[in-house]
Structure 1
Amino acid sequence: MKRIWVRDQLRQLIEDNPSGALIPSERDLSEQFGVSRPTLRAAIEELARDGLLVRHPGRGTFTTARPVSQPLAGLDGSSGFAVPPADGAWLSRVEQFQIAPAGPRLGARLHISPATEVLTVLRLRITDDEPMAIEHIALPAGLVPGITPADFEAGSLYQVLRKRFDVHVATAVQTTEATVTDVNESALLGVPVHAPALLFARTTKDAEARTVEYTRSIYRGDRYRITAQLRFDDSSG
């Protein structure tokens, strides 16, 4: 069928172009491939349903932005994972920055008294000039005296903790589950309301086994991907 052939040609066009690239118009592509515009349009709509193309009325058809990959590598002799940096150049924009008593729920998360002051930060994580994630970060304020919003906007927060405050993060327990974005999250991430997302909740300890961070993050489900290295032995299920 011509539509299948056209779809294969479009797939090759997508692979040959960077993410977010504008592809030629339907008129130009129909002439290039020697097919009718209805046949071409049907192939484009099929690839759009598959998430490979996105159509913007009045602007044209674009290749979909490639997912950002976060690798996880198993540690020898341990049940944990090393966490190399994710793909791309990451920036952050701080939306909220405040210090207040922990309260009972956050105090329990951080294993501190509810009256202990906690720094809470809401930041938007950006890569390839697109918002990728919303992070709600909580740190015991006494661990980071003098820290500023700028410290959360450039580079790695964990590097800041190590170099400026002698806090060496060592281990974390992190859960991951599927969710959808609410109205506020959708506005920050630039996605429709109830868009698919990944919810991460992480409790981090330092080399002295102190709980030093609790972070709750919402990552775009259409752009973020986790890749894990797995090892198997005779006891593997």
Structure 2
Amino acid sequence: MASAAPKYLELAAQMRLRIEQQPVGTPVPSERDLALESGVSRMTARRAIEVLVAEGRITREVGRGSFVARPTLSLPLTLSSFSEDVRQRGMTPSARVIEARIVPAAELAGVFGVDAVEPLVRLVRVRLADDRPMALERASLLASAAPDLLDVADFTLASLYEVLEHRYGVRFDAGTQVIQAGLVSAADGRLLDAAAGSAAFEFLRTSTASGTVLEHTVSLYPAGRFELSAAIRPTRAPGSEAPAAR
């Protein structure tokens, strides 16, 4: 017979259901009040709250207490745009443009397979979801693939991928993406409203169209605002036999 779940996990599950019905910023009971309300020890109440803090469902503010946090954004590991992902979750995407200019390929020449003097479009933006900073995106694109790109759209609102497809006929059909654990620097933290030294995901994406590298983007996502998701499948068909060992 399976053993019952620990009390703190049962309490965390009950609180999770309650939090899902409450607006962002709603105060969460203190450890003492939660313990009295639920008939458990303060240690159990503390551990239940810690579970929800780790999940990003509760945020703690020194001197004020604990509150219902903004929900994290589930980030699928697919070749899609930030704007598309955000809209699919019922939120409004936008951006603050930090840098938009033409630069030489320089150290990215090898990534694009071009000379070091080949012009690239450099577009650095803080990506927002419902006006909340969610990511710092440093995109580089082959300028010859999208002439006058910086003049044809307002990139505080426009999706880069949508502009490339609809105006220039560029549709990415393949790419590689590397995900690394990282830390938020002091400068990036000011842009993202995140604490310096806090955990982050760093995405390095290189996208191609018809075999030509057209985009290389490095994006920084504060870890507490995201969860990663991916569809998975077995490496061999169900029922098939594994190859014999030699």
Alignment of 1:192 onto 2:172: no
Give the match for residue 13 of structure 1.
Answer: 18
Change beyond 3 A, Cα 1:53–1:98: same
Task: Judge conservation of contact 1:151–1:160 (CA < 8 Å) in 2.
Answer: no
Q: How many residues align?
A: 222
Q: CA deviation at 1:45?
A: 7.2
Counterpart Cα distance in 2 of 1:8 and 1:218: 31
- TM-score, normalization by structure 2: 0.75
Question: Alpha-carbon deviation of 1:195?
Answer: 0.9
Deviation of the 1:8 alpha carbon:
6.1
Cα pair distance change 1:226/1:25, threshold 3 Å: closer
Alpha-carbon distance change, 11 to 117 in structure 1, aligned in 2, over 3 angstroms: closer
Percent of aligned pairs sharing the same letter:
26
Matched, 1:162 2:170: no
- 1:91 touches 1:125 (CA, 8 Å); kept in 2? yes
Structural mapping, 1:87-102, within 5 Å: 87=89, 88-102=91-105
Residues 43 and 154 of structure 1, relative CA distance in 2, 3 Å threshold: same
Query: Residue by residue, what CA displacement relative to the aligned partner does 1:192-231 show, whole Å, maximum 9, x if unpaired?
Result: 1111111111111113x22111111111111112211112
Residues of 1 paired with 2:149 and 2:43: CA distance? 54
Following TM superposition, by how much is the alpha carbon of 1:175 offset from its aligned partner in structure 2, in angstroms?
A: 0.8
* Residue from 207, 210, 223 that aligns with 2:225: 223
Amino acid at match of 2:49: L
5 Å-filtered alignment, 1:1-237, equals: 10-18=15-23, 20-23=24-27, 33=37, 43=45, 46-48=48-50, 50-51=52-53, 52-57=57-62, 59-72=64-77, 83=80, 85-86=84-85, 87=89, 88-103=91-106, 105-148=107-150, 150-207=153-210, 209-232=211-234, 233=237, 234=240
Which deviations, in whole Å up to 9, do the C-alpha atoms of 1:7-41 show, x marking residues without a partner? 665444323214x3322665xx57x93879xx679
Contact 1:132 1:189 in 2 (8 A): yes
SS at structure 2 position matched to 1:191: coil
Post-superposition offset of 1:152: 2.5
With over 3 angstroms needed to count, the CA separation of the structure-2 counterparts of 1:42 and 1:56, relative to structure 1, is farther
CA contact (8 A) 1:181 1:197 kept: yes
SS across alignment from 1:13: helix
* Runs of 5+ unmatched residues, structure 2: 1-6
More deviation in 109-118 or 58-67?
A: 58-67
